[in-house]
């Protein structure tokens, strides 16, 4: 018997394709209007869909002003820190048949596997041994991967500690659940529950997601994060897969989703993800909607201005050079040292195994190499998780983040978690560069009381076995 789908109390298809397309086609490019909208964003006010559309139509001259504003806003809200995490793929069984995905049910090239409890432990140990503290678990959509299974995996990850290593925050990227399912994974201690709408464009959604599959229900997926909020989840993440339809439409879809959640629940998305389609085993890519680098960079900067309080995630799908260039455009989170084959952190060498992963990564550099580059570029790599354990989540996070006060907590915690990494895991070269960066950042702290507290914690980390000394 098929289980009846239950929706949230606010269920609504708030994506009006005709309206969004009209905003794109109008291409309003008034320079003063663009500058007025930029000024509004710099006051840390979320933009409307209509205002976002005006920025999307801006010409090259104004695009540079958008970049400058995105850099400034990111620094004011988040400081110069970049949060790092690692993805862990638990299983690639899937009942869906999404045309762009190597894990789709009809793909005979995919090698199916689900990690056992013991295998999860080995993967987590491998990640802890290089210094990771934050992780996102990724699941296919399958009856074997129900809410209880996800919760068991989360609890397993938290239980694994090796040396000074531990995972302090586990997020989930998976199919939408019902309210009872969200309650189960919330009780396991998850951080953010992330759902990719993939494409907000109705016709394209139907094209890529067959109607006879679980994922083919547009409204149930769109409503997924609303149910998460009603189940008590504090933080949720939205995302679109760029390359399925017009990048401008998807950008407006993401902003529409953020505004709907904020209006309905007083809390917008904790993160926004915007990966581009990449090659995958058994997948023939349609290049019609592929997003050019220039458009991709512009989109990220506009998202920073449109949703100033939200973390923007730039994934390892992109190549190292582009990732480095885009760090200043408003990005606040990246994955690093990533492998997405099932069992990829222990079972494979330096080359990717296409038949065992969902898509091909563009950046498989080690965590230490990424850390070193960030430090060289004057970014503070952060593994901080204090907000989630001190209740600065959901509405409380919005209270701190929208005015830009969050960096008062984040920057000190970024420095202490960076010191942990430098002492416990870093190469000599990365350690030397990182220690210099910490001293430079300390000199910028104006509050002498906070500066002294940071110094005391840094000294304890350097001279003892104590860790996790957060503000």
pLDDT, tens digit (0-9, with 9 covering 90-100), for 125-166:
999 999 999 999 999 999 999 999 999 999 999 999 999 999
Please give the C-alpha separations between residue 363 and each of 283, 335, 359, in angstroms, as whole numbers.
20, 9, 12
What span, in angstroms and rounded, lies between the C-alpha atoms of 305 and 40? 9
What span, in angstroms and rounded, lies between the C-alpha atoms of 41 and 65? 12
What span, in angstroms and rounded, lies between the C-alpha atoms of 209 and 417? 41
The three-state (H, E, C) secondary structure of 28-82, written as one string: CCCHHHHHHHHHHHHCCCCCCHHHHHHHHCCCHHHHHHHHHHHHHHHHHHHCCEE
Please give the C-alpha separations between residue 336 and each of 40, 68, 103, 340, 405, in angstroms, as whole numbers.
33, 26, 22, 11, 27
Domain count, the chain: 1
Does residue 436 sit within a domain?
no
- We report the CATH number of the domain holding residue 273 as 3.20.20.70
Question: Band of the pLDDT at 410, cuts 50, 70, 90?
Answer: confident
pLDDT of 1: 38
pLDDT of 407: 57
Span 366-381, mean pLDDT? 98
- 380 pairs with which residues across the strands? 81
Does residue 267 sit within a domain?
yes
Name every residue whose Cβ is closer than 8 Å to that of residue 114 and which is 6 or more positions away in sequence. Answer: 90, 91, 92, 93, 144, 145, 342
Q: How many residues does the chain have?
A: 471
pLDDT of 78: 85
Angle at the Cα of 68 from the Cα atoms of 396 and 22, rounded to 5 degrees = 80
Q: Which of 322, 374, 314 is nearest to 338 (CA)?
A: 314
pTM: 0.95
What span, in angstroms and rounded, lies between the C-alpha atoms of 373 and 362? 16
The DSSP code for 424 is H
CA gyration radius, the chain: 21
What span, in angstroms and rounded, lies between the C-alpha atoms of 459 and 335? 28
What span, in angstroms and rounded, lies between the C-alpha atoms of 40 and 48? 11
Tokens of 26: 């109008």
Does residue 421 sit within a domain?
no
Question: Band of the pLDDT at 350, cuts 50, 70, 90?
Answer: confident
- pLDDT tops 50 at residue 381: yes
Does residue 207 sit within a domain?
yes
Tokens of 295: 């458009």
What span, in angstroms and rounded, lies between the C-alpha atoms of 170 and 149? 14
- What is the percent of the chain where pLDDT is above 90? 82
Does residue 199 sit within a domain?
yes
More confident residue, 3 or 186: 186
- Answer yes or no: are the C-beta atoms of 154 and 172 closer than 8 Å: yes
Query: Which residue range(s) make up the domain with 247?
Result: 84-363
Query: Which run of H or E residues covers position 236?
Result: strand 235-240
What span, in angstroms and rounded, lies between the C-alpha atoms of 132 and 168? 9
- pLDDT tops 60 at residue 2: no
Name every residue whose Cβ is closer than 8 Å to that of residue 248 and which is 6 or more positions away in sequence. Answer: 24, 53, 56, 299
Does residue 98 sit within a domain?
yes
Question: Band of the pLDDT at 79, cuts 50, 70, 90?
Answer: confident
Question: Band of the pLDDT at 299, cuts 50, 70, 90?
Answer: very high
Does residue 63 sit within a domain?
no
What span, in angstroms and rounded, lies between the C-alpha atoms of 209 and 167? 34
Does residue 106 sit within a domain?
yes
Query: Which run of H or E residues covers position 407?
Result: helix 407-424
What span, in angstroms and rounded, lies between the C-alpha atoms of 6 and 176? 11
Question: Band of the pLDDT at 348, cuts 50, 70, 90?
Answer: confident
CA atoms in the 13 A half-sphere facing the CB of 298: 21
């Amino acid at each position: 018997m098929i289980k009846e789908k239950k929706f949230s109390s606010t269920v609504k298809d708030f994506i009006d394709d005709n309206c969004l397309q009209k905003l794109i086609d109008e291409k309003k490019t008034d320079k003063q209007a663009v500058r007025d909208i930029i000024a509004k964003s710099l006051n840390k006010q979320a933009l409307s869909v209509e205002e976002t559309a005006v920025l999307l139509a801006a010409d090259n001259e104004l695009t540079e002003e958008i970049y400058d504003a995105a850099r400034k806003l990111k620094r004011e809200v988040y400081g110069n820190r970049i949060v790092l995490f690692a993805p862990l793929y638990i299983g690639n069984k899937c009942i869906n048949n999404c045309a762009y995905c190597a894990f789709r049910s009809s793909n005979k090239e995919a090698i199916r596997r689900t990690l056992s409890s013991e295998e999860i432990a080995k993967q987590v140990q491998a990640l802890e041994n290089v210094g990771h503290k934050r992780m996102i678990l990724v699941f296919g959509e399958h009856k074997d991967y129900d809410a209880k299974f996800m919760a068991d995996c989360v609890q397993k990850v938290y239980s694994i500690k090796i040396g000074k290593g531990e995972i302090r925050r586990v997020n989930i990227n998976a199919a939408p659940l019902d309210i009872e399912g969200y309650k189960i994974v919330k009780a396991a201690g998850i951080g953010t529950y992330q759902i990719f709408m993939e494409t907000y464009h109705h016709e394209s959604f139907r094209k890529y997601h067959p109607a006879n599959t679980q994922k083919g229900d547009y409204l149930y997926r769109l409503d997924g994060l609303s149910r998460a909020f009603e189940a008590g989840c504090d933080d949720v993440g939205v995302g679109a897969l760029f390359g399925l339809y017009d990048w401008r439409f998807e950008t407006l879809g993401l902003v529409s989703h953020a505004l709907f959640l904020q209006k309905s629940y007083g809390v917008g998305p904790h993160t926004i993800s915007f990966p581009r389609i990449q090659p995958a085993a058994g997948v023939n890519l349609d290049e019609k909607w592929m997003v050019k680098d220039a458009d991709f960079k512009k989109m990220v900067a506009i998202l920073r201005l449109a949703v100033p309080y939200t973390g923007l995630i730039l994934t390892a799908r992109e190549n190292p050079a582009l990732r480095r260039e885009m760090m200043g455009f408003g990005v606040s989170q990246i994955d690093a040292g990533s492998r997405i084959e099932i069992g990829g952190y222990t079972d494979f060498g330096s080359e990717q195994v296409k038949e065992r992963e969902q898509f091909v990564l563009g950046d498989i550099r080690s965590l230490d190499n990424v850390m070193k580059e960030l430090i060289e570029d004057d970014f503070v790599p952060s593994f901080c998780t204090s907000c989630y354990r001190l209740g600065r989540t959901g509405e409380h996070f919005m209270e701190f983040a929208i005015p830009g006060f969050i960096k008062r907590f984040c920057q000190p915690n970024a420095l202490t978690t960076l010191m942990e990494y430098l002492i416990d895991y870093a190469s000599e070269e990365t350690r030397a560069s990182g220690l210099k960066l910490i001293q430079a950042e300390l000199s910028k702290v104006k509050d002498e009381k906070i500066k002294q507290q940071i110094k005391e914690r840094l000294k304890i980390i350097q001279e003892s076995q104590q860790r996790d000394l957060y503000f």
